[in-house]
Amino acid sequence: MKIFFLTFFLSLSAYAYIPQTWMILSRTAENHGKGIYKILQTVTFFVKDSPLQVQETWIIESENKMRMEARGVGPLKDKVHLYYVYEGPYRYFLNQKQQRKVVKTPLSQTERYFHFRFSKNIKPLLVALNILPPEALKAPPRFWTLNAVKYPTEPFKRLSRTGGVVNYAFGTPTPPDSDHLLPGLWIEQDHFVIRKLRFPSQWTLTADQYKRYARGLWLPQKRTLQKEQVITFSINHVKPLYASSKVKELLNPKDLLKNKESYKVLLPSEEVILNFYRNFR
Q: Alpha-carbon distance 40 to 179, whole Å?
A: 36
Among 69, 90, 87, 86, smallest CA distance to 264 is for: 69
Look up the pTM and report it.
0.88
Per-residue pLDDT of the chain (281 residues; tens, 9 = 90+): 545 444 444 444 444 579 999 999 999 999 999 999 999 999 999 987 789 999 999 999 999 999 999 999 999 999 999 999 999 999 999 988 888 999 999 999 999 999 999 999 999 999 999 999 998 888 766 655 565 556 667 889 999 998 789 999 999 999 988 889 999 999 999 999 999 999 999 999 999 999 999 999 999 999 999 998 999 999 999 999 999 999 999 999 999 888 777 788 898 889 999 999 999 99
Q: Alpha-carbon distance 210 to 206, whole Å?
A: 12
Fold of 20-140+155-279: outer membrane lipoprotein receptor (LolB), chain A (2.50.20)
Tell me the sheet residues that pair with 231. Answer: 45, 225
C-alpha distances in Å from residue 261, one per residue of 79, 99, 255 = 18, 10, 11
C-alpha distances in Å from residue 254, one per residue of 19, 65, 205, 208 = 42, 13, 32, 36
